[in-house]
Amino acid sequence: MPASEITTRLSRAATSVMTALFACLAALPARAILINGEGPANVTGIYDRFIVGTYPGTPVAPPVANPSFIGSAFDLSGVGWLSSDPSQAVTLVSSMYFVGATHYMPNGGSTLLFLGTDHVLYSATVDAVHALTYTGTDGAQVSDVSVGRLSLALPAAVTPMPIFYAGNTSVFSASSFNAYSGVSLFNYGHTARMGSNDLDGFAQFSFAPGPRTNIGLVYSPGTGAGETLLEGGDSGSPTIASQNGVYGLIGTHSGVLGQSSYDAFVSYTEFVNQMNVILGNDGQSLTFATVPEPGTVLFGVLLLGFCGTQRMRRGQDAGR
């Protein structure tokens, strides 16, 4: 598909403004990401990672895992949260590095908490943050993917999330994204909840002021139980891709445009290369999921191009 045609498709669709996900948390309901068919707010359901009432917990009383959680097959020990604001989730990609959203990233000196596979709550201090760059159809920009460095490596009980990587991708080659056809998505929310979805495709998007252009994966809720739509406070939380028993990190939540959720596409080749350079300063590197060979079915919707959207804040930046 010619790049001009791809761009035109997106620009026609961009009739709403992009809403970033760090809106005023005081105005949000007690449980977040919007999930079809969820149960009562104060009853533990299959979408809750922890037993309701035990999260976020403290080192004396860590959260209690929910055995009925839909994400129980995934090792989420590397999905942690900011101790002073548990709504901020991040994902460990090596023993010393984590990823999150540039517009909603823990500052240096912040404390992160991770529940290890040994059921012990571990803390770590953020040492530095590096924003990654993205080169799209409007040139190089600061992206909405940032990598944070911890002052000390976490123990083996806190497992880094592998990157769900299916090979080289380029915004200038639409067909390079076909390898991600058919993957299932599991979207983690800022109150340690997880729903599911199907990947609709990919798009370039931006926030204003900026520009801060990103390559994102896009998904929208259908009528099925458990399907998700992101909401305020979800920024930086992960989306996990799963296919044929293989899973790994594929995106971090960025914003909402109408009924479509947008994640920064962490598995994009340009980001993967930058992360490995940064991690290499400490002798570390990313790990990768062994992604099965792609199918022959193309995406029902494949969006690639520049989407001239703007960020609209819902309330004040209470999470920053």
* 4-48 per-position pLDDT tens digit: 322 322 322 332 345 666 432 222 233 457 888 787 777 789 999
Contact between 107 and 121 under an 8 Å Cβ cutoff? The reply is no
Segment 71-109, tens digit of pLDDT: 999 999 999 999 998 889 999 999 999 999 999 999 999
pTM of the model: 0.84
Residue 306, pLDDT score:
28
> What single-letter DSSP state applies at residue 104?
B
Taking Cα atoms as reference points, which of 130, 158, 135 lies closest to residue 145? 130
End-to-end CA distance of the chain: 40
- For the domain bounded by 3-290, which CATH number is listed? 2.40.10.120
Contact between 252 and 236 under an 8 Å Cβ cutoff? The reply is yes
- String of b and e for 196-232 (b: at least 16 CB within 10 Å)? bbebbbbbbbbbeeebbbbbbbbbbbeeeebbbbbbb
